Structure 1
């Protein structure tokens, strides 16, 4: 119930943010133009947008079926539902500097950054579909982590659950850059600010600050792995504790809201790390289609 209450708080805050943003007439795309982009890159952008939506829709159906078979909202379903509600946190890495490069050709809207508490970023700015999808795509990280954890326990039963969880978390120091790099190259987003001596392909438009990888491993994968390792039974992590004793009509919404609370806490922590990374980093040159709009 505590985690469900946290989820309710996050939902109320983002409802407050989006309502003010919408009432001020911002639910529209930023004026197009002012950048150069090849025809091939435009095709890839459309493909990435469509593919991301289709893939996440398929996962939603699969998790819904899994939950029906279990008779309760599964860990994967609660995680996906929670990640959908983290999109509102996107501008926080750019509280002071442009730290999340959006594909300007893709579907976009005017940023809701100015409506977030404490935001002081640069304007004008946009929020793109590919960046929004990227937040929900953390579900792929979740599935990989859970799958790898189960595989390690089968192959190394003498390790114990906590050791398997730590090895799984450490593996994301390699897995995350590989997945992230593919999405960046496809034009999903960019990191406009590099961190000296701590950035892969430093100075290139497809660079990857390793602060992002550390954030994913320590603030997203690690908490999940520790909870899974300490669970008394599979799929019943501590944030769900007590929900199975509730009537299904109450237990399932509580589990969903607990997933919302957990995912928002993890992604907010990640965004705060990326905010710090942007503060100690420096700006690089980007292709015009990844630059912040200036008019």
Structure 2
């Protein structure tokens, strides 16, 4: 063997271990980021089919006004409320965009904003069997796509609305403000009680999640009249017996909206390293990593939202009552 041949063989032997040290392409998808991304892709495909059928059937239009009465004051309050919500949405988007540019890569909260923003297609599930939550018919709205969801059998679909910013569609984006609030509180609690683990912090997470939901609901339902819960068990509701009643079951279910995300984020901050959802992302090419993070967040947030919708849909197990006598026509025909 010549010296030149020996040198060539040596280079080949040195290359082989490096090649086998790289994760195999198939194995990369078994990581958390791979599995969550796969769920995210499935979610996007499924919602594309649902919304595509709805649009093809001519559903992308507002529900006719009907003959309901709405006072000038209530109409003005509805527009003020929508403007306020739209401003909050724009602020959330601006904040996560700035943070991502500063970090040089997409941040966790930016992916969560995208994820919740793309979970709106699940909104009609709450009314899949009964009228659980209905939106303000005077607000900007479109017809419901509920009939195009498998198994959906809600009452009077022609009268149900999906509001643009009042209670549906874009209104899931501001859930990130709850996450920020919980993370801010938990960070300070951990500084003062560094010996507390996640088990001891969990009750605080749950309590703050319910409290944030209650505040949010009181503002949107009682204050602005953006939506309401017509069939709630009036004995188990705040302001029971009035059109602005808020079921306690929904307040408790609201824990699911922000708490899982806040807990995942807090865990990652406390222990260092990658967000648990994104583990394994470094095994993929750099150009694909931000997209994988987004897809993972879409899968995660849609699963969270689906769980919340299932609980909302089954609050009737706590009992139902007739619509309150003071139910206004701008919420539902009387």
TM-score (norm 1): 0.92
Residues 134, 161 of structure 2: 8 Å contact kept: no
> d(CA) in 2 for partners of 1:248 and 1:55?
32
Partner of 2:60: 27
- Asked if the contact 2:115–2:302 (Cα under 8 Å) also holds between the matched residues in 1, the reply is yes
SS of residue paired to 2:162: strand
Rate the CA distance shift 1:282–1:136 in 2: closer, same or farther, 3 A. Answer: farther
| Distance apart, 1:234 and its partner CA | 5.3
Q: Which has the larger radius of gyration?
A: 2
Paired residue for 1:13?
46
Which structure exhibits the higher relative contact order, with contacts defined as CA atoms closer than 8 Å and separated by 6 or more residues?
A: 1
How many Å separate the matches in 2 of 1:244 and 1:65?
23
Q: Deviations over 1:91-117 (max 9, x none)?
A: 101011111111010111111110011
2:125 pairs, out of 50, 74, 92, with 92
> Matched residue of 1:9: which SS?
helix
Q: How does 1:98-247 map to 2 (within 5 A)?
A: 98-123=131-156, 124=158, 125-129=160-164, 130-132=166-168, 133-185=170-222, 186-217=224-255, 219-231=256-268, 233=271, 236-247=274-285
- How far apart are the structure 2 equivalents of 1:111 and 1:173? 28
d(CA) in 1 for partners of 2:273, 2:279: 11
Runs of 4 or more above 3 Å deviation? 232-236, 244-248
Extract unaligned runs of 5+ from structure 1.
Answer: none
Offset of residue 245 of structure 1: 4.5
* 1:39 partnered with 2:78: no
Aligned counterparts, 1:51-62, within 5 A: 51-62=84-95
Q: Alpha-carbon deviations, 1:215-236, whole Å to 9, x = none?
A: 121x333422442344375583
Question: Would you say the 8 A contact 2:116–2:302 is kept in 1?
Answer: yes
Aligned to 1:82: 115
Give aligned pairs, total.
Answer: 292
Secondary structure class of the residue paired with 2:254 = helix
Distance 1:175 1:222, change over 3 A: closer
